[in-house]
């Protein structure tokens, strides 16, 4: 199963909104076939493993990180392929939370005389698909908040300089995250200040869909975001009724969507619902303090990536990662759990899951 998990990770960035799945076929102590779900619309892990078999899989065992599907979608059901191959036993990491599967795949295998063992490295397989499980069970994208700050909690100097707070290794890691998530979100303030591309600048990287929160449609037509909208899918979320600007943005390749207003800005919760309709399963938020505060207030955040640089800026007016009025009582803070830390060059990445989040359905 460890090998199956390792294989599944090769699909990171390419399978959204499908899960990451790996499969390994073993016969008489020898791996005779393996595969993973490589991209959305492509063969599932089990079918790839069977296709790659170097021996007849009859009476073999298959280890798969997620319950085999039993319904027709973009590809035929994997249970059908397993049954037809006469595999003897199936070892499963997690049950599939998708209502179309949800135990039905396992039952179908059992009904056809195949022994099924579940819960194999269950926790490790579950971590592999945090995004998928949340997306299916809560019907809303998995949202991660990312920011880089100094030791004294500043994201820019007193005059607004912010490039670069962290070093090369940390910035490379950010691009790996962009490759992982289906969409990246920024506010109009970031666009006006930095004119970013918001793409994944790594070898063989997958550019995320760009989502810009721009309540009043202030984004310049000459910005890099707009100029490259025909190459990289770009969504502009607004509350504005300015028809002429919408037309120009649409002509440039942007998808402009009107979202409900909340306190004079785009409602983050309603925007997430709109993104869900577009089958966007995950969003990496790379905003300034104002957008970050709005996202936190929406209670949509599931994970936080905080990059901390060994620098001190100081300055009463220097910006911080989270603006707004903040909480009055400690009990109302956003608490993180399952914390991990990683050294990236001279910087440190703190990563944690939000404890106070959307209730599980």
Domains identified in the chain and CATH numbers: 2-128 (3.40.140.10), 133-354 (3.40.430.10)
Q: Which residue, 130, 123, 154, 170, is CA-closest to 282?
A: 130
The rounded Cα 316 to chain-centroid distance in angstroms is: 34
3-state DSSP helix/strand/coil percent for the chain, to nearest 5?
30, 25, 45
Predicted local confidence at residue 340, as pLDDT: 96
Tens of pLDDT along 266-323? 999 999 999 999 999 999 999 999 999 999 999 999 999 999 999 999 999 899 999 9
Rounded to whole angstroms, how far apart are CA atoms 284 and 183?
A: 6
> Where on the phi/psi map is residue 59: left (φ > 0), alpha (ψ -120 to 50), or beta?
left
Q: Is 46 a catalytic residue?
A: yes
Q: Is the dihedral of CA 10, 14, 15, 17 positive or negative?
A: positive
Helical packing angle, 268-277 and 289-297, nearest 10°: 80
Kindly name the residue from 2, 28, 34, 46 that is annotated as catalytic: 46
Predicted local confidence at residue 130, as pLDDT: 95
Predicted local confidence at residue 137, as pLDDT: 93
Confidence of residue 163 (pLDDT cuts 50, 70, 90): confident
Rounded to whole angstroms, how far apart are CA atoms 69 and 102?
A: 9
Confidence of residue 358 (pLDDT cuts 50, 70, 90): very low
pTM of the model: 0.91
Tens of pLDDT along 8-26? 999 999 999 999 999 999 9
End-to-end CA distance of the chain: 29
Predicted local confidence at residue 361, as pLDDT: 38
CA distance to 56, 132, 173, 293, 297, per residue, from 301 (Å)? 47, 15, 20, 11, 9
């Amino acid at each position: 199963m460890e090998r199956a998990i390792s294989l599944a990770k090769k699909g990171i960035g390419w399978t959204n909104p499908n899960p990451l799945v790996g499969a390994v076929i073993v016969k008489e102590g020898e791996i005779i076939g393996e595969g993973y779900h490589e991209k959305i619309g492509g063969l599932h892990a089990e079918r790839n493993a069977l296709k790659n078999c170097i021996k007849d899989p009859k009476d073999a065992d298959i280890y798969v990180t997620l319950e085999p599907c039993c319904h027709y979608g973009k590809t035929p059901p994997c249970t059908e392929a397993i049954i037809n191959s006469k595999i003897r036993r199936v070892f499963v990491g997690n049950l599939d939370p998708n209502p179309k599967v949800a135990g039905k795949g396992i039952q179908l295998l059992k009904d056809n005389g195949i022994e099924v063992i579940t819960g194999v490295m269950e926790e490790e397989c579950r971590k592999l698909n945090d995004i998928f499980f949340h997306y299916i069970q809560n019907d809303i994208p998995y949202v991660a908040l990312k920011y880089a700050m100094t030791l004294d909690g500043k994201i820019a100097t007193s005059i607004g300089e912010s490039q670069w707070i962290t070093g090369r290794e940390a910035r490379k890691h950010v691009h790996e995250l962009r490759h992982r998530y289906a969409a990246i979100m920024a506010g109009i303030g970031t666009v006006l200040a930095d004119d970013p591309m918001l793409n994944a600048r790594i070898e063989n990287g997958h550019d995320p869909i760009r989502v810009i929160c721009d309540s009043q449609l202030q984004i310049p037509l000459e910005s890099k975001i707009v100029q490259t909208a025909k190459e990289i899918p770009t969504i502009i979320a607004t509350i504005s009724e300015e028809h002429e600007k919408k037309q120009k943005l649409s002509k440039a390749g942007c998808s402009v969507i009107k979202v409900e207003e909340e306190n004079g800005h785009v409602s983050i919760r309603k925007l997430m619902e709109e993104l869900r309709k577009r089958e966007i399963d995950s969003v990496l938020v790379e905003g300034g303090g104002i957008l970050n505060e709005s996202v936190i207030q929406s209670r949509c955040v599931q994970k936080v990536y905080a990059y901390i640089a060994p620098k001190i800026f100081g300055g009463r007016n220097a910006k911080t990662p989270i603006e707004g009025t903040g909480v009055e009582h400690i009990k109302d803070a956003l608490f993180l759990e399952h914390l991990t830390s990683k050294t990236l060059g001279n910087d440190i990445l703190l990563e944690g899951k939000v404890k106070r989040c959307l209730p599980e359905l």
